[in-house]
Amino acid sequence: MALNEAALTAFLQDNMGVDPNDLDADAALFSSNLLDSFSMVELIMFIEQSADIKLNPSDIQLDNLDSINRILSFVDAAKDA
Amino acid sequence: MFIEAPLIQHIARQHGTPFFVYDLDMVDQRIKTLNEGFEGLFKISYAMKCNPHRVFLERFKAQLPSLDISSGGELIRALDAGWDAAKISFTGPGKQRWELEHAVNSGVGKIIVESPREIDMLNDICADAQRQQSILIRVSPQHLPKGFGVNMSGKPNQFGVDEEHVEAAIDQIKASEHLALVGFHIYSGTQCLTPSAICENFANFIRLFEQFSEYADIEPQALIFGSAFGIPYHEGMQTLDIDEVIAGALPQLKGLKAQSRFKDTGLYLELGRWLVGEAGNYVTSVVSTKESRGTTIGVCDGGMHHHLGACGHLGSVIHRNYQMQRIANTQQSTAVENGKVNLVGSLCTSIDTLGHGVAFDGLSVGDLVSIGCSGGYGATSSPVNFISHPYPQEFAIQRDQQGATITPLADDYRADFSSVQALRKPQQEAREGIVVLGTPRSGTTLLRRLLNAHPRIACPGETNLLSACARFLHRETIAEGVEVGVEAGLKHAGFAQAEILNRLRDMAFGFHRDYARRQGKARWAEKTAFDSFHIDDIERVCGEQVHYLCMIRHGLDFVVSMQELCDKNQAYLQEVHDYIRRYPKPLEAFAHLWVALTEQLLAFAQRHPHDAALIKYEDLVAAPHDVLSGALSVCAETCPDDLIDTALQDKDSLGLGDWKTYGKTAIEAGSVSRGDGLSARTKGDLATIMNPTLEKCGYAPIPLHQQHSDDDAARRYELGLLLAGLKNKD
């Protein structure tokens, strides 16, 4: 399963109950309290399973995860590595 | 008795047959006879059931001081004819609520009550209308002298209050705030041709009137004497000797009026047939003759469908011929050999027989047959629609120096019920309360605020009254199946279950009644969130004396809301302990609780299709006015247009249990689907518990979450720790 903007948006809508109007690709997910930490666990599980990667503890920071665009660039970088 | 043949022939030639014809001069003469004979001591009251034709209603309006009616339809017709309602008396054994309401609203002068039920109903109606009503009791005497054609006394009958029970009825009326007992009424027998029997009967009336007026301690305004004056319907009968009746009765009336208690009493003589009966003839033509096995049969164009009485079907045991006269068709005349004919009508039934062995010396097609004593209980007492023959024509005759005037009469005898349509609608049984049953956190508080804003409904904050009643009834079964509880205990002490429930209900409802009264509202409503844990016992206590509003809400919202509540309380509520014991994960415990409560509410609403409304919280917030209107209509209430606004502006009447709704001045759909904030995994777990019930309620099922491997679970835990670290770094 490829991880792209559409897939992420769909996941956030269907499973996290996030309003699509709040889902700009640059919208802050975590720091804005749109998602709580329980949801973040589910989000990371989804990223790992969809992109077939595993996040290191040092990867788990807002710079990599706080918006759809940040997640996508982080995943691209991680796959290239 | 018989109107002159030339007049009859004239009408028949001009208009055809069959018809009724009334001699109005004879009616006038009879009124004069009574007024003069009784020296004005008797006021004549015409019983319009006898002949309700507009011609009589209009004439008598000017001639008579009183009209007796026996139905709401007669009231409508009398008022249409211009009668003053104050001059009307209303008798009849089965008065319906709408009839009494119409009578009270119209200002009918005298309502004659015939049963304890009528007394209560009438008092109730007058309380609503804020009127005082004059009433008389119809007394059914034990005794009637011999000589009456129809006897309505002594034996079991539907008319009036039996003499033996009149004192109890008087007591009941005295305790009725809105009723004034102004007299008594007796109509115990009728169709009497023996003056001495009529006078003996009046003596008995007077004895009863004296006895009951004394018991009631009243100086009656009105005493109504059912006349019982008969008319000579059948061959061999003689007209009632009215002079003899007057001679016998007048001294009695004078004696009564001489008593101080009755000096101002109006004495009424109620009668119908004696006034108009003998003045009317029914005229039909012979349209066919038949010699059948030795008997001459005349087939007529009129018959039973116009004149049931003449055919012997209006209360006669054996058919006796009415007095009748043949006006021969002079063109052709056929002698009848034995001087006897059978006269029949043209209906296809053997019971349509006007006369058996009538003494006519001849019979031909074209002969007119005039039947006497047909002025009362004619067309309106007959099956005029049977076999689709035309209605009878009707004519009036009046004479002066120039001769007789014949006037065709038009009246279809119908009452226009359109003005009383609203009164006639079946009445919803009055129920004093409205009980809101809903899962906790389902928006029952919002509903409470809405109900309380209704101009007729007072709904206090949570009183816990009904759940307390349920706890009072709590019972347990110990070994050997012995039940331990208040009902079992009191049963041994001789108290029936119904009595226990009644006392409990009176206690709980009493607080609500007082509260509603203090708020100036007509009804009360009860809303306590935890009532829904005790639905069965609350149903036993409240039964059919309240309407129910059952409120349900999506299970996920309930679960989240319950968790919030328990967090806030720092404890699990008593009612959820059982579930927490069984299901240690709180959200799952709440889910099971939601299923149990919601299933109970659904079943309850299904059991009560007419007195319970099922409300979905989500529907209420989406379309508050429509949903509330629907729910209120089940409670026999309407929803004022501004109810929602009024309710949300009112912040003064918040009560316990309203912590969530404080400060809300609009109904927000945003508090719907809050359960969506739960993780997919949690929701998936709850889905398996709640989905069947959600679907039953019409909610979309929650998607089931795919199963997780142990590795996933471990990874989740690991990530959780990492995220906690991240959070702390902020």
Question: For helices B680-697 and B555-569, what crossing angle results, to 10°?
Answer: 120
Distance CA B108, CA B684 (A): 71
Q: Does the beta-carbon distance from A17 to B676 stay under 8 Å? A: yes
Residue of A nearest to B675 (CA): A17
**B247-270 pLDDT tens trace:** 999 999 999 999 999 999 999 999
Pick from B544, B563, B566: nearest CA to B555: B563
Distance CA B614, CA B630 (A): 10
Residue to mutate among A1, A29, A45, A47, with most B CBs inside 10 A, is A45
Judged against a pLDDT cut of 70, whether residue B665 lies above it is answered with: no
Q: Which residues of B are less than 8 Å from A60 in CB distance? A: 719, 722-723, 726
Pick from B616, B715, B157: nearest CA to A45: B715
Q: Does the beta-carbon distance from A15 to B723 stay under 8 Å? A: no
Q: Does the beta-carbon distance from B680 to A15 stay under 8 Å? A: yes
**B289-314 pLDDT tens trace:** 999 998 999 999 999 999 999 999 98
**B57-75 pLDDT tens trace:** 999 999 999 999 999 999 9
* 3-state DSSP assignment of residue B602: helix
Pick from B193, B260, B167, B265: nearest CA to B225: B265
Q: Does the beta-carbon distance from A15 to B720 stay under 8 Å? A: no
Rounded to the nearest angstrom, the minimum Cα separation between B589 and chain A is 20
Q: Does the beta-carbon distance from A42 to B681 stay under 8 Å? A: yes
Pick the CATH number of B433-710 from 3.40.5.50, 3.40.50.300, 3.40.50.720, 1.10.10.10: 3.40.50.300
Report yes or no: A6 at the B interface, CB cutoff 8 Å. no
Segment 15-44 of chain A within 8 Å of chain B by CB: 15-17, 31, 36-42, 44
Q: Which residues of B touch A (CB under 8 A)?
A: 673, 676-677, 679-681, 703, 712, 715-716, 719-720, 722-724, 726-727, 730
Name which of B676, B712, B723 is nearest A37 (Cβ-Cβ): B723
Average pLDDT over residues B328-335: 78
Q: Which residues of B are less than 8 Å from A41 in CB distance? A: 679, 716, 719-720, 723
The pLDDT score that the predictor gives to residue B403 is 92
Judged against a pLDDT cut of 70, whether residue B428 lies above it is answered with: no
Residues sharing a CB contact under 8 Å with residue B36, sequence separation 6 or more, in sequence order: none
Q: Which residues of A are less than 8 Å from B716 in CB distance? A: 41, 45
Distance CA B318, CA B508 (A): 62
Average pLDDT over residues B203-226: 97
Question: Is the pTM above the cut of 0.80?
Answer: no
What range defines the domain where residue A34 resides? 5-80
Q: Is residue B701 within 8 Å of residue B695, measured between CB atoms?
A: yes
3-state helix, strand, coil in chain B (%, to 5): 45, 20, 35
**B693-720 pLDDT tens trace:** 999 999 988 877 666 677 787 888 888 7
The pLDDT score that the predictor gives to residue B656 is 45
Q: Which residues of B are less than 8 Å from A39 in CB distance? A: 679
Judged against a pLDDT cut of 80, whether residue B664 lies above it is answered with: no
Pick from B485, B487, B490, B467: nearest CA to B475: B485
Distance CA B594, CA B456 (A): 32
Rounded to the nearest angstrom, the minimum Cα separation between A52 and chain B is 13
Q: What percent of chain B has pLDDT over 70?
A: 94
Q: Is residue B317 within 8 Å of residue B274, measured between CB atoms?
A: no
> Torsions phi, psi of B184, nearest 5?
-135, 160
Pick from B75, B80, B79: nearest CA to B96: B75
Segment 53-72 of chain A within 8 Å of chain B by CB: 55, 57, 60-62
Q: Does the beta-carbon distance from B722 to A60 stay under 8 Å? A: yes
Q: Domain total for chain A?
A: 1
**B102-154 pLDDT tens trace:** 999 999 999 999 999 999 999 999 998 899 999 999 999 998 888 787 777 77
Name which of B673, B703, B715 is nearest A45 (Cβ-Cβ): B715
Judged against a pLDDT cut of 70, whether residue B730 lies above it is answered with: no
Q: Does the beta-carbon distance from A42 to B677 stay under 8 Å? A: no
Residue of A nearest to B715 (CA): A45
Q: DSSP secondary structure string, B36-97? A: HHTTT-EEEEEETTS---HHHHHHHHHH-SEEEE-SHHHHHHHHHTT--GGGEEE--TT--H
Q: DSSP secondary structure string, B563-595? A: HHHHHHHTS--GGGHHHHHH--SHHHHHHHHHH
Distance CA B284, CA B616 (A): 70
Rounded to the nearest angstrom, the minimum Cα separation between A80 and chain B is 23
The angle subtended at Cα B656 by Cα B651 and Cα B659, nearest 5°, is: 65
Rounded to the nearest angstrom, the minimum Cα separation between A14 and chain B is 9
The pLDDT score that the predictor gives to residue B392 is 95
Q: Does the beta-carbon distance from B719 to A60 stay under 8 Å? A: yes
Residue of B nearest to A55 (CA): B719
Name which of A37, A45, A60 is nearest B712 (Cβ-Cβ): A45
**B371-422 pLDDT tens trace:** 999 999 999 999 999 999 999 999 999 999 999 999 999 888 889 888 888 7
Residue pairs spanning A and B at CB distance below 8 A: 41
Q: Which residues of B are less than 8 Å from A14 in CB distance? A: 680, 703
Mean pLDDT, consecutive 10-residue stretches, chain A (81 aa), reads: 82 79 81 74 86 85 86 86 64
Q: Which residues of A are less than 8 Å from B679 in CB distance? A: 15, 38-39, 41-42
Q: Does the beta-carbon distance from A62 to B726 stay under 8 Å? A: yes
Rounded to the nearest angstrom, the minimum Cα separation between A44 and chain B is 8
Going by pLDDT thresholds of 50, 70 and 90, the confidence category of residue B502 is very high
Q: Is residue B281 within 8 Å of residue B371, measured between CB atoms?
A: yes
> Torsions phi, psi of B267, nearest 5?
-100, 125
Assign residue A63 the CATH number of its domain: 1.10.1200.10
Distance CA B64, CA B541 (A): 56
